[in-house]
Structure 1
Amino acid sequence: MDLGLAGRTAIVCASSRGLGRACAQKLAEAGCTVVINGRDRERLTAVAFAMAETTGSAVIPVTGDVATADGQAALLEACPAPDILVNNNAGPPFRDFRELDREAILAGVTANMVAAIELTQKVIDGMRARRFGRIVNITSGSVKMPLPGLDLSSGARAGLTAFMAGVARSVAADGVTINALLPGIFETDRLTAMIAATAEKRGVPAEQIEAERLATVPARRLGDPDEFGAACAFLCSAHAGYITGQSLLIDGGAFPGAF
């Protein structure tokens, strides 16, 4: 399917690895000029080169932390008028909520809620003026089905979801959509770290923890970041203009509800 994105520009935050990278890859494959982002300059440069080589699209690496003013400014300097913004950031480490002090809580909310709001504020009026815009917030399946140890991540991302719900309705008539993608368990570095932390805490092998997690997924497998990226690219496409204010679970059926 032609997504109608050739010639569009996209900023994909936290995209040097994992789900962010998969989203950037699919947008580049669709013909977008893509600004990718991460804090490891060497890794980011290598990813940009590989992505450009495999897609033929322009891929611009911007090193920085999207939760900071300097990081956001660098992204918008590289792409002042993006057609697409994919908000993404690493979640807080797996931790019992009793261990969270005020500083850690505020840092988690800044990284997983405030940063996405700030970037949206900076780009949305330009999108409205051009009568096209796509904003996708990568949150988490834990927004709908919270998990102990991910309380800060769940709370911050649930807050972002509620905040963006009203914003989405206010700009829909201008051709701008805002949606969220809620990943379940995908084969990423973050999942590996979470499994390792749980295994250490319980004193059992990591393989046992992974097997227990997979047993909760009707699909009986980990998600492939490539399929997540494809869903993101579709929400950004010319075909998705009537989809807004929605949260799409991509979790292999793990969430047990009908709605």
Structure 2
Amino acid sequence: MDLGIAGRKAIVCASSKGLGRGCAEALAEAGCEVVINGRDAKALDATAAEIRAKTGAKVTAVAADVGTPEGQAALLAACPQPDILVNNNAGPPFRDFRELSRDDMLKGALGNMVVGIELIQKVIDPMIERKFGRIVNITSGSVKLPIPGLDLSSGARLGLQGFLAGVARNVAHANVTINHILPGIFETDRWRSGNALTAKKLGISEDDARQKAYEQVPARRIGQPEEFGQACAFLCSAHAGYITGQSLLIDGGRFPGVM
């Protein structure tokens, strides 16, 4: 399917690897000019080169911490008026909520709620003027299916979704959409790290821990960043203008609910 976004300009945050990279690559395949971002300049440059080689797209690498004003300014200097914004940021590590200090909670809310809102504030009015804008926020399946130890991450991401619910409705008339993708278990460095911790805690091998994870998912596997990216690209497409304010859960059927 032609997504109808060839030539559009996209910013994809935290995209040197994992789900962010999956989104950046899918948008590049659709013909977008893509600005990718990460804090490790070497890894980021390697990713940019690989996406260019695979897709032929223009890919600009911006090494910066998107959680800082300086990092956001660097992204927008590289792409002052994006047509597409994919918000993504690493979440706080697993931790019992009793151990969270006030400072920990403020940092979590900043990284997984406030930063996304700040970037949207900066890009949304030009999108409205041009009558095209696609904003996708990568949050987490844990906002629907709570995971012990990820309470701060889940709460901040749910706050982002709640904050933007009204905003999405207020800009829909201008063909500007705001949606969220909620990943379940995906093959990322963050998941592999968590799997290693689980294996250690249970006294089993990482392969056995992986198999246990498969058994939690009706699809009997975990997701791949590439398929996540394709879902993101569709929400950013010309065909998705009637989808806004929605939360797309991609978890292989793990969430046991109807809605």
TM-score > 0.5, shorter chain as reference: yes
1:120 counterpart residue number: 120
Which structure 2 residues correspond to residues 8-19 of structure 1 after superposition, within 5 A? 8-19=8-19
Look up the equivalent residue of 1:181 and give its one-letter code.
Answer: I
The count of corresponding residues between Structure 1 and Structure 2 is 259
CA distance in 1, matches of 2:24, 2:179: 16
CA distance in 1, matches of 2:158, 2:199: 27
Quote the offset at 1:198 in angstroms. Answer: 2.6
CA distance in 2, matches of 1:200, 1:165: 40
2:63 counterpart residue number: 63
1:170 counterpart residue number: 170
CA deviation profile, 1:203-239 (whole Å, cap 9, x unmatched)? 4333333222221110000101111000000000000
CA distance in 2, matches of 1:37, 1:253: 30
Q: Which moved more, 1:100-109 or 1:32-41?
A: 100-109
2:145 counterpart residue number: 145
Look up the equivalent residue of 2:20 and give its one-letter code.
Answer: G
Q: Which runs of 5+ in 1 are unaligned?
A: none
1:33 counterpart residue number: 33
Which structure 2 residues correspond to residues 32-51 of structure 1 after superposition, within 5 A? 32-51=32-51
CA deviation profile, 1:101-159 (whole Å, cap 9, x unmatched)? 11211111111111000000000001000000000000000010110011111011010
Q: Which moved more, 1:9-18 or 1:146-155?
A: 146-155
Question: Contact (CA 8 Å) 1:94, 1:197: kept in 2 or not?
Answer: no
Look up the equivalent residue of 2:212 and give its one-letter code.
Answer: E
CA deviation profile, 1:28-81 (whole Å, cap 9, x unmatched)? 010000000000001101111111111111000001111100000000000000
Q: Which runs of 5+ in 2 are unaligned?
A: none
CA distance in 1, matches of 2:210, 2:161: 28
Whether 1:54 and 2:54 are equivalent positions in the alignment is yes
CA distance in 2, matches of 1:179, 1:140: 13
CA distance in 1, matches of 2:193, 2:94: 8
Question: Matched residues, percent identical?
Answer: 68
Whether 1:2 and 2:8 are equivalent positions in the alignment is no
2:236 counterpart residue number: 236
Tell me the secondary structure at the aligned position of residue 14 of structure 2: coil
